[in-house]
Amino acid sequence: MAYRRLPVVPDLDHLKNQAKRLLSALRDGETAAGADFTAFHPDVPSASAAKLTDAQLVLARSYRQPSFARLLTTARIQRALHSNDVDALQAIAADDPESLQAFSTIQHGQGRPREFSEARRVSRSNVFAFLRAHAPDLSVDDLKLINGGQHGGGLVLRYGNDQVVKVPKNGTRKGLLKEAAILEYIRRQDLPITVPEPLEVHEKGFFAVYRMPEGDGQALTPAVLARLSDADLEVAIRSIAQFFHVLHTHRFPNSVLQHVPEAHDGYDVAPARMRRKIQFIREHSSDYDTDRWEENLDRLEPSLIQVLALAQCDPQTGFFEAIDGNLTRLSMGSFYDATRHDPAIDIHDFMLEVQSDLEDEDRIRQICDWLVEHYTSDDPNLAAKIEYGLMGHEVRWAHIRVRRQVRKLDRSNDGVR
């Protein structure tokens, strides 16, 4: 998301309402709001946990201000200067002299943040300069962006023959520290999971250097899955199911779990939120079978008993790599989004990724069936949780579409008035 700029005469009420709208947009699942939080929040909360103060901080930083209070003060200064209100400027100077000094310095070009400061947003265009500033021991000239350089929670670069460097987005630096802790622990255990080896991890999560597993890794992208024979595809899905089983059933120590947050959208709160969305859809659109959703939710809710485990929480097909083409030896190195959540989330989210990435309906159905068949679980409610997760995705996107329609209609009616 690009930085915002204050108008010549800012409206304080507009800024306050803008923060409220940003929070509402995040809770509604709007992509732009999520991008704002990722770019400008130092510790990105989930949509359900986000508060107005979080939205105010994100908004302030998008205007290049350290806090919402400073943003409002800066707006007051601009208004006072525009109207030549000396009394107002004197009052600001008395209440917050630092803000006036900071405003004056910025106007004269002396207060801009240092090149690639901790708050600077890292992107494809500046990642090499960022690493020169913060990773002086790396030979930056030997780095190359991988497949466009975007992967998981940040940028990934090839370093030599067997290493990669990950540079997370500002808001996911804690995610990189978490990922490194998980990978380091897994490597020390006798687990049937192949992961990269963390060689260097910046103490603040600015970057990490990983050594990749020996052998050539082939990402199981949708295109690769589409080309596999049925027999090889089943082997690949069985390996993925076994990976999830080991991840979900292993007892990770507190030294690892302290880096892994507990999900805020567990089954104690998520069904009620889904009911509100269904009700909103019913009130504003007749295009969806809301009665079916209600009936299914009534049937499934008694089975939604939360089981906490370490879940990957972003299981994209391309994150799995077959080492030297061996579909029984997969490597997985992305744990940016790992959360203590119910294991079912990984299963139904992987199904959703397959549904969105592949076009062959028969192959999609077969992959989903194999995943459930080969995923070993003693949870008697797993099937109900998977069905609930798939329905939740359907309801979520219907809710987003209907909200957009309602807002468009509201703007049209405002124009008529």
Distance CA 217, CA 113 (A): 40
pLDDT at 113: 39
Same domain, 232 and 192: no
Q: 189 and 271 in one domain?
A: no
Buried-state track 181-196, b at ≥16 Cβ within 10 A, e below 16: bbbbbbbeeeeebbbb
Per-residue pLDDT, 369: 96
Residue 401 in this model has a pLDDT that exceeds 50: yes
pLDDT digits (tens, 9 = 90+) for 174-196: 889 999 999 999 999 988 889 99
Please give the Cα distance from 236 to 366 (Å, whole number). Answer: 12
Both tokens assigned to 410: 């509201």
Mean pLDDT of 148-170: 79
- pLDDT, one tens digit per residue, over 334-390 is 898 899 999 999 999 999 999 998 889 999 999 999 999 999 999 999 999 999 999
| Percent of the chain residues past pLDDT 90, beyond the cut | 53
| pLDDT at residue 416, rounded to an integer | 56
Identify whether 247 is part of a domain: yes
Task: Choose one of 107, 138, 170: the last residue of a domain.
Answer: 107
In which domain, by residue range, is 244 found?
A: 218-406
pTM of the model: 0.68
382 and 262 share a domain?
Answer: yes
Angle between helix axes 31-40 and 12-27 (nearest 10 degrees) is 110
Read off the pLDDT of residues 121-130 as tens digits, 9 standing for 90 and up: 787 777 888 8
**Whether residue 243 is found in the same domain as residue 365:** yes
For residues 245 and 358, membership in a common domain is answered with yes
Q: Smallest Cα–Cα separation from 283: which of 403, 370, 381, 104? A: 403
Exposed/middle/buried for residue 170 (C-beta within 10 Å: 0-12, 13-18, 19+) = buried
Say if residue 181 is in the same domain as residue 322.
Answer: no
309, part of any domain: yes
Question: Which residues have CB under 8 Å from 308's CB, separation 6+?
Answer: 262, 340, 341, 342
Residues 102, 106, 111, CA angle at the centre, nearest 5°? Answer: 80
Instruction: Quote the CA–CA distance of 42 and 58 in Å, as a whole number.
Output: 9
- The neighbouring-strand residues paired with 143 are 159
- What is the pLDDT averaged over residues 131-135? 85
Residue 148 maps to which CATH number?
Answer: 3.30.200.20
- pLDDT grade for 114, boundaries at 50, 70 and 90: very low
Both 55 and 88 in one domain: the answer is yes
Residue 195 and residue 232 in one domain: no
Within a domain: 121: no
97 burial class (0-12, 13-18, 19+ CB within 10 angstroms)? exposed
Residue 193 domain-assigned?
yes
Element (H, E) at 321: strand 320-323
Report yes or no on 237 lying in a domain: yes
Tokens 């090499």 — which residue? 128
At 352 the pLDDT is 93
Whether 111 shows a pLDDT value over 50: the answer reads no
- Mean pLDDT to the nearest integer, 150-179: 83
> What is the per-residue pLDDT for 396?
94
Residue 390's domain is classified under what CATH number? 3.90.1200.10
Interatomic CA distance for residues 260 and 408, integer angstroms:
39
Domain co-membership, 238 together with 327: yes
Q: How many domains does the chain divide into?
A: 3
Is the same domain home to 43 and 81?
yes
Same structural domain for residues 75 and 159?
A: no
Residue 138 lies in a domain: yes
Q: What is the mean pLDDT of residues 85-96?
A: 75
The domain boundary, picked from 160, 184, 212, lies at: 212
User: 118-127, 179-188, 216-225, 305-314: which range is least confident on average?
Assistant: 118-127
For CA atoms 54, 55, 56, 57, the dihedral sign is: positive
Same domain, 299 and 255: yes
Q: How many CB atoms lie within 10 A of CB 293?
A: 21
- Count Cβ atoms within 10 A of the Cβ of residue 215 and give its class: 0-12 exposed, 13-18 middle, 19 or more buried: middle
